[in-house]
Amino acid sequence: MNRRMKSVQIVHTIEGVRSAVAEARKAGQRIGFVPTMGGLHEGHGSLMDRSVSECGFTVVSIFVNALQFGPAEDFQKYPRELDVDAAFCERRGVDLIFAPTHEEMYPREQRTFVEVTGLTDGLCGKYRPGHFRGVTTVVAKLLLAVLPDVAYFGEKDGQQLAVVKRMVADLNFPVEICPVATVREPDGLAMSTRNRYLAPEERRAATAVYRSLQRARALLAGGERDAATVRAAVHDVLAAERAIQVQYVEVVDAEELQPLSYIDGRVMVAVAVYVGGTRLIDNLVYP
């Protein structure tokens, strides 16, 4: 059967997603889950492809989670195009879209929060207070609504991936977290829903983010072990673009995300910049 010919089912309630998943599970299917906020692009597409290839039943959630946006952030303007996103999912062979309303996910004042300490102190956590608490709380809620066997997360959001992995391990969630490599534009820019905010000149400048990480990779591959040297080299590449304002450049261990001065073991070089009003992040993990 050609999966692309099958039409995708859309449900808006937790009850709806539970009964569809229960049926698929009863039929012996492995359940794959791709949580998204919509605004789908090829990065999401690669998560879906992976799930569809590994699981008999793939669920994609589309939910712009207010809880993870700061008051000055882009919650209002974040793209919401369910028809376009549903067509995207259908082309990728997704079986079920779970697109709850805010009221379905937060029917009463949310008093319960899931928080991962330590790993959320630095990087984006430092500049987006409450963001990761919003992420882990909604991911916990989504995992408990869907109860998938495996959930797919992109490596582009490197801190989010590490935080979700830790949450799942720490709380005994019965799910495997599967990281998927960042998908990039031909010029290296990491796919992101927020790329569509970029004006043409900003879009061109944004390529410096990937180039700066390539510079870091070359240094690490060449044996550089001084984190300050790596960070300075990344800053140099970014500083050459006047449209870019650096928020942070950090070298951290890849597990606990703590800043390093001497590079040893698996590290993440993580970057956050503003290009005009648009915040972009990217990272590399080495080796």
Q: Indicate whether 2 belongs to the interface with its own copies (CB under 8 A).
A: no
How far apart CA 112 and CA 226 sit, in angstroms, is: 41
Q: Indicate whether 281 belongs to the interface with its own copies (CB under 8 A).
A: no
Q: How far is CA 263 from the centre of its chain?
A: 25
Measured from the Cβ of residue 153, the count of other Cβ atoms closer than 10 Å reads 22
Query: Which distant-in-sequence residues (6+ apart) come within 8 Å of 100 by Cβ?
Result: 12, 13, 14, 61, 63
CB of 270 to its own copies, least distance (A): 19
Contact (Cβ atoms closer than 8 angstroms) between residue 201 and residue 243 = yes
From candidates 23, 73, 81, 170, binder to its own copies by CB under 8 A: 170
From candidates 7, 172, 200, 265, binder to its own copies by CB under 8 A: 172
CB of 81 to its own copies, least distance (A): 26
How far apart CA 217 and CA 224 sit, in angstroms, is: 10
Known catalytic residue at 44: yes
Region binding its own copies by CB under 8 A among candidate stretches 134-142, 149-157, 213-221, 243-251: 134-142
Residue holding tokens 């590449």? 237
| Contact set for its own copies, span 15-44 (CB under 8 A) | 18
Q: State the number of binding residues for its own copies (CB under 8 A).
A: 28
Region binding its own copies by CB under 8 A among candidate stretches 46-54, 170-178, 199-207, 261-269: 170-178
CB of 208 to its own copies, least distance (A): 34
Closest to its own copies by CB, 29 vs 229, is 29
How far apart CA 96 and CA 90 sit, in angstroms, is: 9
Backbone angles phi, psi at 80, to 5 degrees: -130, 100
Task: Lay out the sheet containing 278-286: strands in order across.
Answer: 244-253, 267-275, 278-286
Q: Indicate whether 126 belongs to the interface with its own copies (CB under 8 A).
A: no
Q: Which of 92, 35, 96, 33 is nearest to 68 (CA)?
A: 35
Catalytic residue chosen out of the listed positions 41, 44, 102, 235: 44
From candidates 26, 111, 222, 287, binder to its own copies by CB under 8 A: 111
Q: Indicate whether 159 belongs to the interface with its own copies (CB under 8 A).
A: no
Q: Indicate whether 193 belongs to the interface with its own copies (CB under 8 A).
A: no
How far apart CA 193 and CA 41 sit, in angstroms, is: 7
Q: Which residues are catalytic?
A: 44
Q: Which residues in this chain contact its own copies in the complex, by CB under 8 A?
A: 14, 18, 108, 110-119, 136-137, 140-141, 144-145, 147, 166-167, 169-174
